[in-house]
Chains A and B, each alone.
Chain A
Amino acid sequence: MSRIILATENLRKYYPVTSGLLSRHVADVKAVDGISLGIMEGETLGLVGESGCGKSTLGRAMLRLEEPTAGRVLYKGENILDRDRKGMKELRKEMQMIFQDPQSSLDPRMTVGDSIGEALLVHGVSHEHERGERVEALLKQVGLEPGHAARYPHEFSGGQKQRIGIARALAVNPKIIVADEPVSALDVSVQAQIINLLMDLQRELDLAFLFIAHDLAVIGHVASRIAVMYLGRIVELADRTQLLEHPLHPYTEALLSAVSVPDPHQKRKRILLEGDVPSPVAPPPGCHFHTRCFKATEACRGEEPELKPVGPGHLIACHLYKK
């Protein structure tokens, strides 16, 4: 039975909105609004949602790259928000991040070897020779040549840069990696290579992933469980097959039906949602989704639905499924 490696309890991250000369606090952007979920050792939890739903903020807050406003983040049962700077640095070896844009996450004036080596240096591998060997091994592991260590980021293509970003995250032997849209900036032919690489590494190193993406097809391919996020909240969380084959939340249904399938024979009925995602500064009262929901009732406008189990491992926040 696998254990939970990283979990959140009622996690909140609000960004203040200020206005006027005295920067009066007028409102909050509720980017993450009370989220509780757990990632098991060695699993991939997919987090899917549209832009502005708070999925990146959640990923960053789980690594304490953003200081949460409230709630707890538990790493192997310990609340990491209680740790001081030094204690946090100790822990960062175990939890790493892969960013969306490999271009802007690599220093253009450092060689690739130095960029990857820096992570080792910070975490105490100070012998230069040892670092060099480790960097070469890492480059090989992500499918690059050991000789690439002496080159600069601009000499690499987008896919290769993403491989470097992955090598850097792997340098310190992490147990969990938050991958924030790691393939969405890449062309499809290269995207497949990176997805395969991440899945291979997971098997070899027994890594846990929080895989954040807006593309349900990508998430559906890599994840074992999927969480769907809408305006700062999780609306549905289930096992991959369960979620893709029997989505229960109307938002998940719509999202799934909007995925364009590369098969001209498959003419599906699209569920067209009306309008756009509302602003997270003033989300609609009650269920955040009720303004666009095709099954909304009076109850949805007033009362906020809780995330509750409807079956084994299947959680949903919707009034339709209240017993």
Chain B
Amino acid sequence: MDNTILRVNHLKTNFYTSYGEVRAVDDISFSLRKGEILCLVGESGCGKTTVALSVLRLLDSPPGKILGGEILFSGEDLLRCSVDRLRQIRGNKIAMIFQDPQSSLNPVLTIGDQIEEPLKLHLRLNHKEAMVRTANLMAQVGIPMAREHLRDYPHQFSGGMKQRVMIAAALSCNPEILIADEPTTALDTTVKAQILEIFQDIKQKTSMSILFITHDLGTVAGIADRIVVMYGGKIVEAGTTLDIFDQPGHPYTRGLLNCLPSVSTSKDRLISIQGTIPSLINPPGGCIFHPRCESRMPVCKEVSPKESLISGEHIVACHLYEQERIA
């Protein structure tokens, strides 16, 4: 019945900087199911990358520190397991892809070596087996003439090709969860379309669960099963893709969808969200979105809103809906 593979409960992560304490992730809970693509959406500084790094405990500490919560992977709490156990999970059961393939590949190792490494480490394959598997993986992510490129170095590859290498390395051990942090942001439009096609392909052919982090709602609309919208370190709305795009509940989500320029609309003024993203060192009190919100009420300045279930699994954290419930 329950096909949750990863459950994040009340995660809190702070950064301690010389300017003060940054509440990057402030009490966040969500779950990832088997075989789905869950998109974590938000603008810069909303804490989406910090969530991803917290899941695998990859944060640099200091300045980052996980203050509390649970991260349950098949029932096992990753925040409390040993470092050795974590090492068995990273890259093997849960793999990660980063935004900038340039800085995540080692420039002095060949492409082949870098994809093979997890195969030898986790699956204990010998060199020959690993090489065959690596060539297959590279072919799977669309690198032409894979065998000939095994001995190439990262600088010989273009940005799109490097991202394919990263995906191949992440897929190498058949992980149960793939965390992809802005994997298409640094790429050109036509190359981005190619990479998204690979993710679609993974979803169709495997039962892998993908946590896809992005700021681009256009990308989300094309691939997500469910969506979590973040703002200022908190979840403001979560639901299925159709919930979020057809009936956005939170004023922030509505604003985000309204302000996108599109190739098919007429040349009207864009409806923008006023103001700028607040600093998380001194976040506004009450609902963190209230200084920019068009529907704000007196209560929004005082009290942080609770999550309200508005339909099925559609959750909104906004006082507008809390009132509805009482009335």
User: Which A residues are within 8 Å of any B CB, using their own CB?
Assistant: 50-51, 157, 159-160, 187-193, 195-196, 199, 214-218, 220-222, 240, 244, 254-266, 270, 272-273, 275-277
In contact, B276 and A259 (Cβ under 8 angstroms): no
Q: Closest chain B residue to A223 by CB distance?
A: B267
Residues of B within 8 A of A199 (CB): 269
B194 close to A187 (CB less than 8 A): no
Residue contact B190 to A258, C-beta cutoff 8 Å: yes
Contact stretch, chosen from B4-12, B97-105, B214-222: B214-222
Binary contact track B261-292/A, C-beta < 8 Å → 1, others 0: 11111010111111011000000000000000
B260 on the A face (CB < 8 A)? yes
Q: Decide if B276 touches A261 in the complex (CB within 8 Å).
A: no
Q: Which residues of A contact B160 (CB under 8 A)?
A: 276
Is there an interface contact between A217 and B272, defined as CB atoms closer than 8 Å? no
Number of A-B contacts (CB under 8 A): 130
- Chain B residue at minimum C-beta to C-beta distance from A159: B276
Q: What residues of chain B lie closer than 8 Å to A260, measured between beta carbons? A: 192-193, 196, 216, 218-219, 221-222
B194 near A272 (CB under 8 angstroms)?
yes
Instruction: Report the minimal beta-carbon distance from B213 to chain A, rounded to whole angstroms.
Output: 15
User: In the complex the two chains form, what is the Cα distance from A50 to B222 in whole Å?
Assistant: 21
Select one of B197, B217, B222, B245 contacting A188, CB under 8 A: B217
B27 contacts the other chain (CB 8 A)? no
Q: How far is the CB of B42 from chain A (nearest CB, A)?
A: 9
Q: B82 near A: Cβ within 8 Å? A: no
From 148 to 197 in chain B, residues with beta carbon under 8 angstroms from any chain A beta carbon are 158-161, 188-194, 196-197
A contact residues around B277 at 8 Å (CB): 157, 187, 189-190
Chain B positions within 8 Å of A257 at CB level: 193
| A221-B267 contact, Cβ under 8 Å, with A51-B188, A258-B192 | yes
Q: Is the CB of A244 within 8 A of B189?
A: no
- B residues neighboring A (CB under 8 Å): 43-44, 144, 158-161, 188-194, 196-197, 215-222, 224, 241-242, 245, 255-257, 259-265, 267, 269-274, 276-277
Closest Cβ–Cβ distance, residue B267 to chain A (whole Å) = 7
Q: A51-B188, A196-B270, A270-B193 are in contact. Are A263 and B245 (CB under 8 A)?
A: yes
Chain A residue nearest to B186 (CB atoms) is A51
Known: A240-B267, A258-B190, A270-B193. 20 other contacts (CB 8 A): A160-B276, A187-B43, A188-B215, A188-B217, A189-B259, A189-B277, A191-B261, A195-B261, A196-B269, A196-B272, A221-B261, A254-B190, A258-B189, A260-B196, A260-B216, A262-B220, A262-B260, A264-B224, A272-B193, A275-B144
Bound form: Cα–Cα A216–B194 in Å: 17
CB-CB under 8 A for A264 and B263, given A51-B188, A188-B215, A272-B197: no
Q: Which has the most chain B C-beta neighbours within 10 Å: A195, A261, A262?
A: A262
When C-beta atoms are compared, the residue in chain A nearest to B263 turns out to be A220
Complex Cα–Cα for A216 and B270 (A): 16
Q: Report the Cα distance A310→B161, complex, angstroms.
A: 36
With a cutoff of 8 Å between Cβ atoms, the chain A residues found around residue B262 in the complex are 217, 220-221, 261-262
Q: A196-B272, A214-B189 are in contact. Are A189 and B255 (CB under 8 A)?
A: yes
Please determine whether A216 and B263 come into contact, CB atoms closer than 8 angstroms: yes
